[in-house]
Structure 1
Amino acid sequence: MKSRASGLRRSRLRQFFRVALGFWRGKTRLRAWGLTIAVLLFVAAQLGAAVGINSWNRLFFDALEKRDFDKIWTAVGWLPLIVAASAASLSCLVISRMLLQMRWREWLTHRLAGWWIADQRYYRMQFVAREQSAPEYRIAEDVRLSIEPLVEFAIGLLSAFVTAVTFAAILWQVAGSAHFTLAGAEIVIPSYMAIAAIVYAVIASIAAYFAGRPLVPRIAAKNEAEAQFRAEMTRLRENAESIALIKGDADERDSVGENYGRVVAAWLKVIRQQGVIAIVLNTNGALFPIVPLLLIAPKYLSGEITLGAVMQVVAAFSAVQAALIWFVDNFVRLAEWFASVRRVDELAEALEALDVGTIMEGETQIELGESEDDDIHIADLSIAHLNGRIVIADASIVIEAGEKVLVAGESGTGKSTLIRAIAGLWPWGAGSIKLPPGKRIAFVPQKPYLPIGTLRDVLLYPEAESRVDDEAVRDALKRCGLASLGRRLDEEERWDQTLSGGERQRIAFARLLIQKPDIIIMDEATSALDEASQDSLLGLIDSELSYATIISVGHRPGLEDFHERKITFEKREAGAHLTSKRLTRSLWRLFRRREAANDRSVA
């Protein structure tokens, strides 16, 4: 069990670095290497300043012991230069470190966010990787928590190694060897202070490791509970009106309390383990300044070394000790860092699993392609749920260019899933869907998405940068029953919260008039409208976009009058079966539509 956990940890780290180290490759490599070299140079400068301060200690205390005022003033004269060099190198190190952290995080955030958003992975992840809760939090927060400490750890480890080697050499040179007699035999321990520092650091590190090892999974569980709690609060805010209308306050309060209870339980486990770690760290903190004094005191009392040498040895021992117990001092932060690394890598792993050929390895999936004409070809299409249950079985149909098709059937027969498959959001199944190349396709869901921005941006979405005359935009709003919004094109609002459900659906129809797509696929697009408004908007699309191919899912009365063919989903045990029939009433409407088009051309 332990080996499997350690293997997972190594795998997580390896996969995380495989993604994250891309910052040092590709287009960002010059910036990455430039910042890395700057950090290394300032680390070396900081170490040089530390060695200078250590040498100054010996010079000053030797002069102090001998009461040599000339040397004391000489040492005091050097002090401002050494302090200035140390402060400058440390300041430059902080700046270069923070720049490296910021740029690396920027790159990884763009990498993961782009990966998540591309190819509708943000949508499909909710079906494939439901355990990957709050991916937006992982991108916004866990990326920061995995990058910023990592840079500090790398600098700390490098500084610790170089510092340990440098000051161990000082200990070797200044402290010399320990001589004592045991059972009549003289024993000599060369460089005993350096050896003592290493032994002490090893003991402290082992104690910290065993005390802190359980902290990693507990911090990961705490972070997961925090993310779920934030997601619960976001869900409450986004559905505030619906909850308020049905007076669901008590249930929501209980749900929030239950979720926060999980956060508290996870935090208590972390606190208990950090208490154990604190015992180790505080014990080390108490012994840290005493041990070198006890070890060097016999040499000073015997007159073998001067007071300045004592101070230099103590400072060097402390430097070696601090370097060697770097792991002890940073164990809690390492545990927190690895918990964030694991969450980032789990997200990357889920995104990789969404790539074609990985989700259902060895199984068939729906083939998306281009048709050889302007028609939509659906051939031998079977759509399955993730559990393998067939929703739609062996459906084949051709929807001709300009044809208006109504899709109907019982709830749960797969109508909306068919829309998702046509949009490329649902690859699970078999068969093929071929769409005409070069055609603009617009999807109109039951709850249209309204982005944050000006009303003009909302109406032109997802092509907000396109140039459309304001009069054309206002005319589209007026014809869709939203004339009052025409004067608010430049107002920036949360339009998804400002407008009612019916107004949002009218906005979707106004988009169609402005963007003029070739293929329109609607899923309960008029469900929030009254029948008269539905007829008005569908009639508008019928006349203004008569050339467009329309696939419409709906149950509302009167929809048949605006379509030329009806496809009905019939529920069967082996999956829904499709039947198709022509709508005789729509022939009259088709005639009316052509007459209206002729009247406009004559006018």
Structure 2
Amino acid sequence: MNHVASPAAPPQHSEQIAIFRKLVIGFWSSPGSRIAWITTAVVLAFVGAQVGTQVFFNYWYRAFFDGLQQKDMSVLVGALFQLPMIVVATVVASGGLLVSKMMFHVSWRAWVTQRLAGWWIADQRYYRLGLIAPEHQAPEYRIAEDTKLAIEPLAEFVIGLVSATVTAITFSTILWSVAGSFRLTLGQVVIDIPAYMAVAAVIYAALTSTIAYLAGMPLVRHVADKNAAESEFRAELTRLRENAESIALIKGDKDELNSVLANYGRVVRAWYGVIRQQGFISILQNTNAVLFPVIPLVLTLPKYVSGEMTLGAVMQVASAFAAVQGSLIWFVDNVVKLAEWYASVRRVNELVILLDQLDIGTIMEGDANIRLGISEDGSIHIDNLSIAESAGRVVINDASVVIKQGERVMVMGESGVGKSTLIRALAGLWPWGLGEIRVPRDVEIAFVPQRPYIPLGTLRNALLYPDAGSKIAHETVVRTMVRCGLSYLAKRLDDEERWDHVLSGGERQRVAFCRLVLRQPDIIIMDEATSALDEDSQQSMLNLLHEELKSSTVISVGHRTGIEEHHDRKIILERRPAGAHMTSLTVSKSLWSYFRQQRA
């Protein structure tokens, strides 16, 4: 029997980016990508419009200050008349860019969420993921929150980078043409520095970006640790809420409080790491905010004093330098957001990798999955079946049995021997192991767990789940409820409640039997399906299987007395060193006789 493969090393930075890029890039190539291209084109158009208004305002700036220096009222009045048009154009471009970016965010996130959620929910991956990787908690949070934190900033980064690039190129051209070259005389040596303002902007931006990179990279780890600690803290509180009754009954308040506070202590320590690193980055950002408005004025001062540049030209150059500088130090201004984004990307990638492993079978070494096949004779065939836990321990070893159509079979054995795991394998929920399970073609299989699921909505929807839209007559539903001991709820069939909170454990199990009668499945697989019922109610529900579901094949697990006589045969699992051994026995005729007498 093969065991679980050793976990792979966490992907490196480049691999993390590649995994995430593969996930999100399909937005532009999948069916229905027309919306992606339209929203992308609209965003880019507004980026161009916004840069255009900045250029127009830059030239207005020069004209206004030249008129101010020359005290030319005609130039100043003309500039003031142009100002409203510039303001309107700027407002329209900025507002359009904001709205189009938000539409782009929503569309891209919706596509990625639909893909991830569909991948997670399909083929019971949401169930199997909890079995193979219970330490990776809250996949729903990764789909809902981490996807948001990974997509929305990414869209902002991409749009911001495009805008910064276009702005840098455009205003570098202005710096080159307006500021010209700078002649530096050192003794007898004369050095001409062409486009010196553009060169100065690039050098300054490169210096500050390098420092920001060195200060920002450790922040990625601190943010990832902080997010992980926050997730674990939420999971701890959720576990407390879900087990509130059990904890209250045994008065475990003090221990739980200590556990919660210890968990939150890890959150606080992780936050201290983030705060320290952000403090370093804040020093860099504030220093840069003070220096970069002054630098262009200092660099243009010699030319202004010598008369080579007018006041308007100085102000235009200073404005263009600020635009180029703001574009080139884009990384400095976004280093914290990039760290937050990368931390969320890593958490989304963890879910993607696990889902991918479920699909390609890399959780187990080699070809170690239970094969599901088709039976041609109407029976269920279990051939050379070995079942392993997700950790690799063999639970059931080399078992074979045939369950004929319409047969009632009970699975028995001591606790922990693998009964529930066998039931899950029969239901197609447990693929880890070897051997084959064959079921008849085109049959409906109903799985009844110990705690049946109750969906949101009306009680009628709960009774008809998962076929809530099926057209079953009202009278049939009511008659079934009466037969299952739920007649007192018949008047509330169309009431919307949190029925999973309203119904007791026994009522939930009665609802499950109602579903069986209404659906009439070909195969019924039950796991402790009557554990919350009293003995009389249990007998009534099991009698229901013989009266209303005579042709259905029934496979069930149960420990309580009074269950065995409702079955034709029992399969006993016996614990052995190499895994449980399966023995099939026929139920005693005397028990059947007793059962029939009781029914009579």
Match of 1:184 in 2: 188
* TM superposition shift of 1:7: 7.1
**Residues 168 and 324 in structure 2, CA contact (< 8 A), matched pair in contact too:** yes
**Residues 379 and 439 in structure 2, CA contact (< 8 A), matched pair in contact too:** yes
CA distance in 1, matches of 2:205, 2:114: 41
* TM superposition shift of 1:492: 1.6
Match of 2:519 in 1: 515
Q: Which residue identity lines up with residue 105 of structure 2 in the other structure? A: Q
- Tell me which of 113, 136, 143 is aligned to 2:140: 136
Match of 2:178 in 1: 174
Q: Which residue identity lines up with residue 344 of structure 1 in the other structure? A: V
Farther off after superposition, 126-135 or 8-17: 126-135
CA distance in 1, matches of 2:342, 2:506: 48
Mapping 1:203-352, distance limit 5 Å: 203-352=207-356
Q: Which residue identity lines up with residue 122 of structure 1 in the other structure? A: Y
* Partner SS for 1:360: coil
* Partner SS for 2:32: helix
- Tell me which of 425, 432, 437 is aligned to 1:428: 432
Match of 2:538 in 1: 534
**Ranges in structure 1 where 5+ consecutive residues have no aligned partner:** 597-603
Match of 2:451 in 1: 447
TM-score of the two chains, using structure 2 as the length reference: 0.96
TM-score of the two chains, using structure 1 as the length reference: 0.96
* Partner SS for 1:359: coil
Match of 2:494 in 1: 490
* Partner SS for 2:31: helix
- Tell me which of 52, 55, 66 is aligned to 2:56: 52
1:117 has 2:126 as partner: no
1:476 has 2:468 as partner: no
* TM superposition shift of 1:108: 0.4
Q: Bigger relative contact order, structure 1 or 2, given CA contacts below 8 A and separation 6+?
A: 2
CA distance in 2, matches of 1:484, 1:587: 33
Per-residue Cα deviation, 1:545-583 (whole angstroms, up to 9, x for no partner): 111110010111111221111111111111111111111
* TM superposition shift of 1:293: 0.9
**Ranges in structure 2 where 5+ consecutive residues have no aligned partner:** 1-7
- Tell me which of 554, 562, 566 is aligned to 1:562: 566
Q: Which residue identity lines up with residue 22 of structure 2 in the other structure? A: R
CA distance in 1, matches of 2:65, 2:177: 18
CA distance in 2, matches of 1:166, 1:226: 44
* TM superposition shift of 1:231: 1.6
Q: Structure 1's 163 and 359: CA in aligned 2 closer, same or farther, altered over 3 A? A: same
Identity among equivalent positions (%) equals 58
**Residues 410 and 557 in structure 2, CA contact (< 8 A), matched pair in contact too:** yes
Match of 1:552 in 2: 556
Q: Which residue identity lines up with residue 567 of structure 1 in the other structure? A: I
Q: Which residue identity lines up with residue 578 of structure 2 in the other structure? A: A
How many residues are treated as equivalent by the alignment?
Answer: 592
* TM superposition shift of 1:429: 1.1
Farther off after superposition, 564-573 or 246-255: 246-255
Q: Structure 1's 356 and 13: CA in aligned 2 closer, same or farther, altered over 3 A? A: closer
**Residues 393 and 574 in structure 1, CA contact (< 8 A), matched pair in contact too:** yes
Per-residue Cα deviation, 1:105-145 (whole angstroms, up to 9, x for no partner): 00100100110111111111122223322111100001011
**Residues 564 and 586 in structure 1, CA contact (< 8 A), matched pair in contact too:** no
CA distance in 1, matches of 2:590, 2:293: 95
Per-residue Cα deviation, 1:188-214 (whole angstroms, up to 9, x for no partner): 211111111111101100111111110
* TM superposition shift of 1:35: 0.7
1:193 has 2:190 as partner: no
**Residues 47 and 163 in structure 1, CA contact (< 8 A), matched pair in contact too:** yes
**Residues 522 and 551 in structure 1, CA contact (< 8 A), matched pair in contact too:** yes
* Partner SS for 1:226: helix
* TM superposition shift of 1:361: 4.1
Q: Structure 1's 9 and 138: CA in aligned 2 closer, same or farther, altered over 3 A? A: same
**Residues 218 and 269 in structure 1, CA contact (< 8 A), matched pair in contact too:** yes
**Residues 447 and 525 in structure 2, CA contact (< 8 A), matched pair in contact too:** yes
CA distance in 1, matches of 2:11, 2:68: 57
Per-residue Cα deviation, 1:5-41 (whole angstroms, up to 9, x for no partner): 9971111111111111111112221110111111111
- Tell me which of 11, 34, 41 is aligned to 1:37: 41
CA distance in 1, matches of 2:547, 2:360: 40
1:499 has 2:503 as partner: yes
* Partner SS for 1:214: helix
CA distance in 2, matches of 1:231, 1:6: 23
* TM superposition shift of 1:356: 4.4
Match of 1:98 in 2: 102
1:13 has 2:20 as partner: no
Q: Which residue identity lines up with residue 585 of structure 1 in the other structure? A: S
**Residues 561 and 585 in structure 1, CA contact (< 8 A), matched pair in contact too:** no
Q: Which residue identity lines up with residue 539 of structure 1 in the other structure? A: N
CA distance in 2, matches of 1:539, 1:111: 45
Farther off after superposition, 479-488 or 316-325: 479-488
**Residues 446 and 525 in structure 1, CA contact (< 8 A), matched pair in contact too:** yes
Match of 1:126 in 2: 130
* TM superposition shift of 1:257: 1.2
CA distance in 2, matches of 1:115, 1:387: 24
Q: Structure 1's 586 and 394: CA in aligned 2 closer, same or farther, altered over 3 A? A: same
**Residues 567 and 581 in structure 1, CA contact (< 8 A), matched pair in contact too:** yes
* TM superposition shift of 1:180: 2.7
Match of 1:585 in 2: 590
Match of 1:395 in 2: 399
Match of 1:543 in 2: 547
* Partner SS for 1:575: coil
CA distance in 1, matches of 2:189, 2:393: 85
CA distance in 1, matches of 2:323, 2:576: 77
**Residues 427 and 525 in structure 2, CA contact (< 8 A), matched pair in contact too:** no
Match of 2:4 in 1: none
* Partner SS for 1:26: coil
Match of 1:599 in 2: none
